[in-house]
Amino acid sequence: MKKNILIVSGSPRKKGNTMAMARILEEKMADMEPDLAFEYLYLVDRDLKYCLGCMNCLKRGGQHCPIKDDAGLILTALKKADGLVFLSPGYAHQVSAMFKNFLDRFMYLAHLPELVGVPTVVIGTAGYDGAGKIPRYIADWNLAWWGCDVVARLGFAHVVFTLNGNYRRKAIGMIEVAARDFIEAMKRKHPPRPSLRQYFYFLFNRMETEFCESGMPARYGFWKDRGWLESDYYYDTKVGLTKKVLGRAMLRLIESRAKKDLGRDYRERLKDYY
Ligand SMILES: Cc1cc2nc3c(=O)[nH]c(=O)nc-3n(C[C@H](O)[C@H](O)[C@H](O)COP(=O)(O)O)c2cc1C
């Protein structure tokens, strides 16, 4: 069956440097696997207003966001895809404002994760400096919370890509590897085991959700309905013993900091806070 790949671009330039990388990925994938459909979602064409910070998405659910714009359509497209590609140019050593706004508006997917296990590739470009930070920020600080299966995080310095043949060949080789891994991930029947980072985020997310039972009922209900308040992870998978020990030790560190900052009754105080 055809696999649908949605490419979300946070560059205002549809024929710019970041899109050129996405086109290479598309070409490589199409060569390897004919049964793929690619759809491009250019944020520059969408009406996506700034987040108002009301937290309605976590308190009442994403559909209760008071902003009337294209967020619902974008969510539908994200949920329909078998694989996702996120693109952003580096602007002032960060993602573009357009892409940041996209992350803000869909922040609730970190706490009401609807894209768990979806294979994902992230590509960032910068002129020269800091290209690697862009995909790391998107993948490690956002998509890992969303529970996506990030198969590649690629960052390229466009000046070097254009002027240095060795760099360009290496970059194209990396895109080719990503294309293969991405196709394999989409064909997999079950999502992979979580990394330590993903597992820790799950534990932290669950602990925070427990504090929110009355303050953010949509979030609490979302977790409860899926059995995630009792499960080992978002989906049926084996979490190895070492990962369990390390993940829980990291959580205890956070808890001991909370005890120090908020007092021994930090759990009750956080429940009141939320
Ligand atoms: C507003 C703005 C800020 C930028 N900031 C940086 C930067 O901090 N570091 C860098 O190396 N390149 C920077 N660049 C260059 C872009 O990251 C680079 O050209 C990128 O590949 C553009 O992608 P695009 O063609 O997809 O828009 C900046 C470009 C713009 C327009």
CA distance 103 to 10: 10
User: How far apart are the CA of 126 and the centre of ligand 1, in A?
Assistant: 5
Same domain, 219 and 245: yes
Q: Which of 66, 84, 96 is nearest to 75 (CA)?
A: 84
Same domain, 13 and 129: yes
* 3-state helix, strand and coil shares in percent for the chain, rounded to the nearest 5: 55, 15, 30
- Of all protein residues, the one whose alpha carbon is nearest to atom 29 of ligand 1 is 91
Q: Which of 193, 173, 92, 83 is nearest to 137 (CA)?
A: 92
User: What's the pLDDT at 1?
Assistant: 79
User: What's the pLDDT at 113?
Assistant: 97
- The series of mean pLDDT values per 10 residues for the chain, 274 residues long, is 95 98 98 96 98 95 95 98 98 97 98 97 96 97 96 98 98 98 95 94 96 93 97 95 97 96 93 91
Contact 159, 128 (CB under 8 A): yes
Same domain, 28 and 163: yes
- Of all protein residues, the one whose alpha carbon is nearest to atom 30 of ligand 1 is 91
9 lines ligand 1 (CB under 6 A): no
Contact 119, 102 (CB under 8 A): no
91 lines ligand 1 (CB under 6 A): yes
pTM of the model: 0.96
Q: Which of 187, 213, 232 is the last residue of a domain?
A: 187
How many structural domains comprise the chain? 2
The number of the ligand 1 atom at minimal distance from the alpha carbon of 129 is 11
User: How far apart are the CA of 163 and the centre of ligand 1, in A?
Assistant: 16
Same domain, 152 and 39: yes
User: How far apart are the CA of 173 and the centre of ligand 1, in A?
Assistant: 23
DSSP 61: -
92 lines ligand 1 (CB under 6 A): yes
User: What's the pLDDT at 103?
Assistant: 98
Over the stretch 79-103, which tens digit does the pLDDT of each residue have?
999 999 999 999 999 999 999 999 9
Mean pLDDT of the chain: 96
Same domain, 159 and 204: no
Same domain, 156 and 20: yes
Longest dimension (CA), the chain: 60
Contact 31, 107 (CB under 8 A): no
Same domain, 247 and 164: no
- Of all protein residues, the one whose alpha carbon is nearest to atom 20 of ligand 1 is 126
Q: Which of 59, 61, 112, 56 is nearest to 228 (CA)?
A: 112
